[in-house]
Each structure stands twice: as C-alpha cells, then as structure tokens.
Structure 1
C-alpha cells in the first residue's frame, strides 16, 4: 500500500506544477489573443487594410492555450461527462468502472502521443506564412534506459543548438502544442488511475484532495 502512494506522489507534484503553469500561460495567451484580434478588427474594418499575421498568431496562441489547460481541466473534472451510471452504482463498483474507463482513455492517449509526435516532426518541413522567430534551434534529449530520444526538428540522438537571427517559424512550433498536451494528459490519466486504485483498496482517506470544477446538480 505505501508503494502505491509513493508511486502516486511524483505524478501529483508534476501535474500540480504543470497545472499552475497551464493556468498562467492560458491567462497570458487569452489576453494576447484578445489584443491581436482587436488589432486585426481595427485594421480590417476601420483602416480597410487587414494585416497578414494576426489570424495565424491567434491560432498559435489558441493551440498552446488548449494544449496546456486541457490536462488541468481533466485533472479537476472539468471535462464534459455523463456520469449518471457511475453515480447510481455502489462505490466500489463505480471505482472499478472508473478504472476501466481511465485505462481505455490511457490507451487512446498513448496512441495520440505517437501521432502527435509524427505530426509535430512533419511540421519541421514547413514554415509559417507570417510568423517569425528571432532564433532557430534544434533539440534532442535521449531517454535513459530507452532507445528513444525527445526531439524537435532534428534526427540527432542528442543535440541542443541555438542560432540567433530572424527566421520564419517552423510549423512544428504550433503542432507541438498537440504533442505536449497529450503527454500532459497521459501524466494526469496515470495519476487518476493510481488514485482510483488507491480508492478501490480503501486508501481514499490518505489521498490529497484535488480541487474539483464540476458543479453538483441540485
């Protein structure tokens, strides 16, 4: 039993930290989206001279905002869900059902991570039409104990290079929001699985309480 709680603790720490980061990025991204869209409205309808970059910039901000806030919402029960069956079942049966559903969602998310990685790497071949970056970089970090490497726009096993100079942004920077978001969703899913297993084993009183966004129906 202590082993299960010990396994759960790192996921709680990481997911809590990433949730706070996601909240902060979402607030900033939302504010920037509003500013960018207002700029485009003024130039399009007041000055009759639409700018080329605001639409793509708003899309970039929206994708990263979604990728970082979705795991936070998932952890707090903020996703839309139909839980009438679960609520009607005895507590232990409902816990088993929740574990089954979380296991299925974990399989889907793992497949999604693989697809997200392939999609992100394909974005290295194409550049943004309007967005520029003040530098270009390549990144690769081998994963200990695995014949894999976390990479972005390079096939090297281990690399980190940063070159200053304006260049069009690779679309991989936009697509990476999907990849990162799915990885964070996997981490949250594993935490919820471990919490569900602990609940099933009668360790619910030893679990830290998670904030919950769902409003109970009266």
Structure 2
C-alpha cells in the first residue's frame, strides 16, 4: 500500500504543478481574448472597418484555455454531476460506483486522445487558418499562416492532462476504498475563488 500511496501523492504533486501552470496560461489567454474582442468591437463599431483575424484568434485562445483549465475543474469535482445516487448509497458502494464511472471516463478520454491526435496529424491538421499569421523571421519580413493542427493540439493536450488527473482520481478512490484516505495529500481548493 505504501508504494501506491507514494505513486498517488507523487502523481498528485505533478498534476498540481501542471494544473497551476495551465490555469495561469489559461487565465492569460482569457485576458488576451478579451482584449482581442474589444479591439474588434472598436474597429467594427467605432471605425467602421472590421478586422479579419480577431474571431479566429479568439477561437484559438478559447480552445487552448479550455484544454488547459478543464483538468483543474475535473480534479476538483467542478464538472456537472448528479450526486444524489452516490449520497444515498453506503460509503463502500458509493466508492465502487465512483471507480466504475472514473474507469469509464478514462476509456472515453483515451479514445478522445486517439481521435484528437488523428485530427492533428490528419487531413484537417494540414490546412492553415484563414487569417492568423505568425512571423518566421525576427525582422517580421516573412510571415506564414498558423496551421490548424496547432488549434487541434489543444484537444490532445487537454485530454492528456485529463487522463493524468483521472488516473490520480482512480488511485485516490482505491486508497479511500481500502480505508487509507487519511494518508492522501489534499487537493487544494483555495485558488477557485471561493466558488462552491
């Protein structure tokens, strides 16, 4: 049991670090997305000349923000769930039901990664965005369109992080089921802004 506890707490520490980084990058992306949208509103309604790239840039940022921040919500139980049945069941039966649901979630996430990777490397990933460009030289003389695979990669990264969290939650549930929950490191909730 000591090895499983060590593995679980170690994976929890890795997940905590990755999710903290993901939340910070995701929050930055939200800030940039708001600026881009406000810029588009200004150009469209004040200057009467809409820009071509803000909508696509906002979509790009939103997808990456979702991929980076969803694992935190999953780890902390922030996804929508129906808890009535698990609260009515005895503790052991509730833990077993949670394990079954987490196992199903893990299968779906693994299939999702395969689908996401096929989108990144497949036909759709070979195209470029319509209006987003990036410089290929430091003097900005040469620009290239952003590949759509960069946008689709957000799915793979997000699902990969969700798989890591799901494995941690499965291990935590197993340890709780055998009665050693007191030895697990707590999942911190303080940075959720007090939302319950």
The TM-score, its normalising length taken from structure 1, stands at 0.82
The C-alpha deviation readout for 1:57-83, integer Å capped at 9, x for no partner, is 000100000000000110011111110
Greater shift after overlay, 192-201 or 42-51?
42-51
Q: How does 1:121-160 map to 2 (within 5 A)?
A: 121-122=121-122, 123-135=124-136
For residues 106-144 of structure 1, the C-alpha deviation after alignment (integer angstroms, 9 at most, x for no partner) is 0010000100100111244101111112239xxxxxxxx
Aligned to 1:154: none
User: Which of 168, 177, 181 is the equivalent residue of 2:154?
Assistant: 177
Q: Which moved more, 1:96-105 or 1:123-132?
A: 123-132
Deviation of the 1:2 alpha carbon: 0.6
Give ranges in structure 1 of 5+ residues lacking alignment. 137-163
The aligned counterpart of 2:51 is 51
- Report the count of equivalent residues: 188
Alpha carbons 2:9, 2:185 under 8 Å: kept: no
| Matches of 1:121 and 1:10, distance apart in 2 | 32
Q: Distance in 1 between matches of 2:22 and 2:88?
A: 34
Using the alignment, how far apart are the partners of 1:135 and 1:189 within structure 2?
38
Cα distance between partner residues in 1 of 2:127 and 2:180: 50
Deviation at 1:10, TM superposition (A): 3.1
TM-superposed deviation, 1:196: 0.1
Structure (1 or 2) with the greater helix fraction: 2
Over the aligned positions, Cα root-mean-square deviation in angstroms equals 1.6
Does residue 107 of structure 1 match 2:84? no
Q: Aligned residue for 2:34?
A: 34
**CA positional deviation for 1:165:** 4.8
* Corresponding position: 1:202 with 2:184: no
Q: Secondary structure at the match of 1:57?
A: helix
Q: Normalising by structure 2, what TM-score?
A: 0.91
> Which residue number in structure 2 is paired with residue 117 of structure 1?
117
Larger strand proportion, structure 1 or 2?
Answer: 1
SS in structure 1 of the partner of residue 136 of structure 2: strand
